[in-house]
Amino acid sequence: MLADDLGSDFYLEDIENGLIKNMLKEFYSAGKESRSRVAAMLQVGFLTVRYRQLKEAMVKRNAVMDSNLISDGIMANLIHDRGEMDNASFNIYMTLNQEMQGNVNGMPWNGFPDLIVYLDIDPEHEIESIQSRGREMEDIRKDPELVNYYHSVNKAYKDWYEGFHQATVLKIDRETYDFVANDNDRNAVLDMVEQKLVELGCLTQNEFNAIRAKREGVKNVF
């Protein structure tokens, strides 16, 4: 949605990637036991794929990524805190994550995105959104214990938001803005994000005005 509006390249989480696909299914296959068994290597897999995407994205103007190395670190920390990744694996993972972030320092990024958009959502509504993706491995009807796991993910990101100050973060309240189903909410969110890009010098005011005029002149295209 945002990348289309900006005319930018975008990078989505690639769960079909060979490094990830089978391990992700295994991760969800048997609750805590399977998460503990494959969590460390799965997180390294996600990190590797994300880093490849980042190396491409960082040389393109206003590229959009649906996640980043920071988010990968949040998930690894959560899994470790839940007792599903041992200390040695966690320490190796975080060292690798930090080395990767450091490797993009000044190329041209400072190791962090120009703008992070944080979608704040009620835990129960987050579960509804996850279930709507239709992925069998994420189905809480097959594994009710996933509810607790999803709630812990939601809390981990809320806690991260409260304590993160190293880069600009724009918080979008998903309880207020249904940008998936409501055109007005979608336009409002796009305006907020793009205006913030103007403030950060990533987009000119004239570019923003042209993008908004084009978007508001086309209805029901999403």
Give 198's contacts (C-beta < 8 A, 6+ positions apart): 204, 205, 208
CATH code: domain of residue 61:
3.40.50.300
- Residues 9, 66, 120, 183: which is the catalytic one? 66
Could you list the pLDDT tens digit for every one of the 222 residues in the chain? 999 999 999 999 888 988 899 999 999 998 889 999 999 999 999 999 999 998 889 889 999 999 999 999 999 999 999 999 999 999 999 999 998 888 775 554 556 889 999 999 999 999 999 999 999 999 999 999 999 999 999 999 999 999 999 899 999 999 999 999 999 999 999 999 999 999 999 999 999 999 999 998 855 443
* 191 is annotated as an active-site residue: no
Question: Residue 50's closest CA among 72, 25, 30?
Answer: 72
Distance CA 164, CA 135 (A): 31
CA 110, chain centre distance (Å): 19
* CA dist 125 → 23, 58, 81, 141 (Å): 27, 32, 24, 16
For residue 191, being part of any structural domain is answered with yes
One-letter identity of residue 70: I
Give this prediction's pTM: 0.89
- Any domain includes 222: no
- C-alpha Rg value of the chain to the nearest Å: 18
Domains contained in the chain, number: 1
In-domain check, residue 221: no
Residue 165 counted as domain residue: yes
Range of the domain at 165: 2-216
Domain assignment present for residue 208? The answer is: yes
